[in-house]
Structure 1
Amino acid sequence: MRTNRILAALLAVPLAALTLGTATTAQAADPHLQVKSLVLNRASVAVSSLNTVPVTITLEGTAGPSEYDTYYVAFERVAGTGPKDDLYSMPLKLIKGTPQDGTWQGVVNVPSTVNGTIKAARVIAGGYLLGCTSCGEDYPVNVNGPSLAVTGTHIPKLTATFTPKVVPYNSPFSIKWTMTDSQTGKPYGSKLKVMLRQDNGCVEGDFTTTTLTDTAGSITKNYPAGNYVICFMVPGNPAPIFSDGAIPTRPGIVTATPSKTSAPVGSIVPVNGTAQSAYNCPVNLQRLYGATAWRNVGTAKVRSSWRFTVNAQPAYKGKIPYRVQLPACNNVLTGVSKTFYITGV
């Protein structure tokens, strides 16, 4: 996507005669396509803000009998820190020869968000399907292709502000999305085309429908209750040039129940409980020392069912206060169970 305010800065460099390196075993085993060379017309490029700069790709190869006469090239990050780690070309069309022995050419639209170095990693036959890492790839050819050094400036930065700030489970919420220039900290100054999606819509479905932010780069959307993937994308061709997501902060909700309310001193008493949405997070069994000091006396990990088991061990005769604490983990805040008691006998 191009803005009216900031033009792409393009490095004028000579043709990068970057011939494909040795093909991988996966390619050699594929009877359909043998890539002889893969060349970019640039070795480096500079891109600013939400613009893209086309870089021409030329592919030469031979193939056996095949239904394919169109290819895509997939690039992957090998260095740098841009927010986007992969990139796909537009379709490469046959410009010379035949589908069995020919030359294909097309462009890859390079955004600032791939700032760093990207490298041609695969040639995909047929078509590109957004969000699918193995589709169109009923026949991928792995390649040791040319690299492209990308200098990205005024790279977009996304902020997501939730209302409420901590979202209760089973409650709707809203997100104010704001896209700004990471270099200046200011908005780009024009309305931006964006795509707001959720759940499966983040990786499949309609990627042509967009909506506009305001001139401050902000847009607010209401979301229904539930746990699902939420994403924000900036459209590109053939794939978004920027994508990110957001996860609501949730309250820590912990329950815990001892398997026995009394047990001989020194014996093991399993304590079972749940920690909502806290899969693989640690929980601490705590015992009260004195009037106010809770100290950890055991720990466990929350299972995929959100359940856990910790073991209590009464240290003395009498009524002993315990609780289970969930430290803040991922997007779940700290939480504690109600106090329960085990009597040592």
Structure 2
Amino acid sequence: MGKLRVLIAALAVIGSTTITLPATAEPEPWLTITAVTLGRSAVAVSGMNTVAVPITVKAGYASDDPWTVRMPLFVTLKRTGGIGPIDLIVAGDLSRTAGTVRNGTWTGSLNVPSTANGTFKVTGVGRTTNYDDSDGSMPSPTPFDGPSIAITGVHLPKLGVAVIPRVVPFGAAYQLKAAIYDSATGRPYGTRILLQVVRDNLCAEYDAGSKYTTTAGILVTNFAGVGGDVNHCVRIRGRYVDVRSLHFTPLRPGIVAAAPRMTSVEVGMVVEVNGSVAGRSYRCQVDLQRLYGATQWRMVSSGSVRASGRFTLRAQPPYAGNLRYRVALPTCGRYQAGVSKSFVIRGN
């Protein structure tokens, strides 16, 4: 219990992402929706449970192609009220149970998670063999103004993650320690729960393979050093969309290199100082600092990192003698503050 509380308190990044429909083509002109009915108008859901709500669609598809005989439908519901970590729920794989393809009835279940706390309304119906479009089969839903359902979610799951080490060196391997716990109590559910801890395109695509946590709600995943600068995520997968997810990118050190174009110039002459910042630091601010006295560094000019990762600043020695400079990178997003090695420009 204590370890989970420490992990929650020391989370490197916490967040959630609203699940949205995949970008697809226009709705199909052959699909006509006449009615959508929900078997319940209100449900209460706790923790990691789901409640199955019967759903019925009366529709027609203007085609006699053989594949339409077993054509499933899906229904999308979007949030219209309340506060919760997801804004979309989906009832998929609805099967035709009466009538014909051109004038039939499709039925199935809407599995409601606790994270859908609030009011959701039917907004569209579509046909597909694979809801997440991983096989390219999914057209956009046909808009439909359907019924609403009030969902009371309690003991919602919450996700956290600690990156080890907290600031990941470039090229170094690292670990992600994911935690899932009851947002109402701050404690684990006491059972092993399936989570996905993945990165890059697997954070947006279909099921990438889940692993069980410990009964304390912890899952540790190791990653190689390549790929540390892409999107990472922890996902609680539902059948069609995530029940909850957390997206983040690991922190990186601020590594700065800089050198003057010339090291000896006339007093008052402008000298270019060129350098670079490691990683994807585009548009991060960099400051040229000059040493005053024995320990005090003061900014004398500033600029920003170009898309190439390089920058150019300008020094202008105000008097004769050796003047010591350095370039500082203030904390910029996930890049930590850093400074270059100091260098000397002599004013003559």
After TM superposition, the score normalised by the length of structure 1 is 0.79
C-alpha distance in 2 between matches for 1:93 and 1:173: 45
Partner of 1:202: 203
Structure 2 CA distance, aligned partners of 1:283 and 1:131?
Answer: 43
Q: 1:47 to 1:264 in 2, by over 3 A?
A: farther
Q: Classify 1:150/1:261 alpha carbon distance in 2 versus 1 (closer, same or farther; 3 Å).
A: farther
Selected match of 1:117 from 103, 116, 119: 119
Partner SS, residue 90 of structure 1: strand
Partners of 1:286 and 1:85 in 2: CA distance: 48
Give me the CA root mean square deviation: 2.9
Shift, 1:246, TM fit? 4.3
Partners in 1 of 2:149 and 2:298 — Cα distance?
55
Q: Is residue 305–residue 311 contact of structure 2 (8 Å, CA) maintained in 1?
A: yes
Task: Answer yes or no: is 1:297 the counterpart of 2:300.
Answer: yes
1:233 is aligned, of 231, 235, 251, to 235
Q: What is the match of residue 35 of structure 1?
A: 33
Partner of 1:222: 222
1:74 corresponds to which residue?
76
Checking the alignment, whether the CA contact within 8 Å between 1:273 and 1:308 is kept in structure 2 is yes
Distance 1:33 1:300, change over 3 A: farther
Cα separation, 2, equivalents of 1:115 and 1:176: 27
* Contact 2:47/2:154 (8 A) holds in 1: yes
- Shift of the 318–182 alpha-carbon distance from structure 1 to 2, 3 Å rule, reads same
> In the alignment, which residue of structure 2 is the partner of 1:256?
258
Q: Specify every segment of 5 or more residues in structure 2 that has no aligned partner in the other structure, as ranges.
A: 1-25
Flag the structure with more relative contact order, 1 or 2, with Cα contacts below 8 A and sequence separation at least 6: 2
> Is the contact between residue 72 and residue 128 of structure 1 (CA under 8 Å) also seen in structure 2?
no
Question: How far did 1:217 drift?
Answer: 0.9
2:345 aligned to which of 338, 342, 345: 342
Look up the equivalent residue of 1:225 and give its one-letter code.
Answer: G
TM-score (norm. length: structure 2): 0.78
Trace 1:267-286 onto structure 2 (pairs within 5 A).
Answer: 268-277=270-279, 278-286=281-289
Q: Note if contact 1:124-1:136 (Cα within 8 Å) is conserved in structure 2.
A: no
SS of equivalent residue, structure 2 residue 92: coil
1:60 aligns with 58
AA at the equivalent of 1:125: R
1:98-132 per-residue CA deviation (whole Å, 9 max, x = no partner) reads 22222322222111122233343443321334486
Moved more, 184-193 or 305-314: 305-314
1:170 and 2:171 correspond: yes
**1:155: how far off?**
1.2
CA distance in 1, matches of 2:133, 2:29: 27
Matched residue, 1:306: 309
Aligned residues: percent identity?
Answer: 40
2:171 partner letter = N
Q: How does 1:8-157 map to 2 (within 5 A)?
A: 30-65=28-63, 67-68=67-68, 69-130=71-132, 136-157=137-158
In structure 2, distance between residues paired with 1:90 and 1:168: 43
Corresponding residue number in structure 1 for 2:12: none
Q: CA deviation at 1:253?
A: 0.8
Q: Report Cα offsets for 1:168-202 as digits up to 9, x if no partner.
A: 11111222222111110111112222233333433
1:273–1:188 CA distance, 2 compared to 1 (3 A): same
Contact 2:92–2:131 (CA under 8 A) maintained in structure 1: no
Distance in 1 of aligned mates of 2:347 and 2:122: 67
User: 1:256: Cα distance to partner?
Assistant: 1.8
**Farther off after superposition, 267-276 or 51-60:** 267-276
Other-structure match for 1:331: 334
1:8 is aligned to none
Q: What corresponds to 2:291 in structure 1?
A: 288
* Pair 205,57 (structure 1): closer, same or farther in 2 beyond 3 Å: closer
Partner of residue 183, structure 2:
182
Which residue number in structure 2 is paired with residue 14 of structure 1? none
Deviation at 1:326, TM superposition (A): 1.6
SS in 2 for 1:113: helix
Residue 188 of structure 2 aligns to which amino acid in structure 1?
Answer: P
Query: Cα gap change, 1:316/1:40 in structure 2, threshold over 3 Å: closer, same or farther?
Result: farther
1:308-323 equivalent positions in 2, closer than 5 A: 308-323=311-326
Distance 1:149 1:316 in 2: 74
